[in-house]
Amino acid sequence: MTKSELIEQLVDVDVPLSKKESELVVNTIFDSITEALAVGDRVEIRGFGSFSIRERDSRQARNPKSGEVIQIPAKKAPFFKTGKELRHRVDIS
């Protein structure tokens, strides 16, 4: 499902929202999650899952084309852990 398909589904629900309003709702939710993660907060949506930031250590890797060893710097990456309810619903399907 893409972001635009999610917006369309929100329009199709019995809630009286226009496409523009639905887009604003979806964008606001995504922006709020992004901003929280950017400052290091954890975002938990009960029954769905939680978003957090994981620190990745620096490491050495090899360029497959040249064989040269390169250093990959440490970085922060977003991480999503599914909630029990979501895991259960996906497993049954």
**Residue 72: alpha-carbon gap to chain centroid:** 23
pLDDT digits (tens, 9 = 90+) for 29-73: 999 999 999 999 999 999 999 999 999 999 999 999 999 999 999
Q: How buried is 10 (Cβ within 10 angstroms: 0-12 exposed, 13-18 middle, 19+ buried)?
A: middle
Residues 47, 81: contact at Cβ < 8 Å?
no
Give which of 40, 73, 33 is closest to 54, Cα–Cα: 40
The pTM of this model reads: 0.77
Q: How buried is 35 (Cβ within 10 angstroms: 0-12 exposed, 13-18 middle, 19+ buried)?
A: exposed
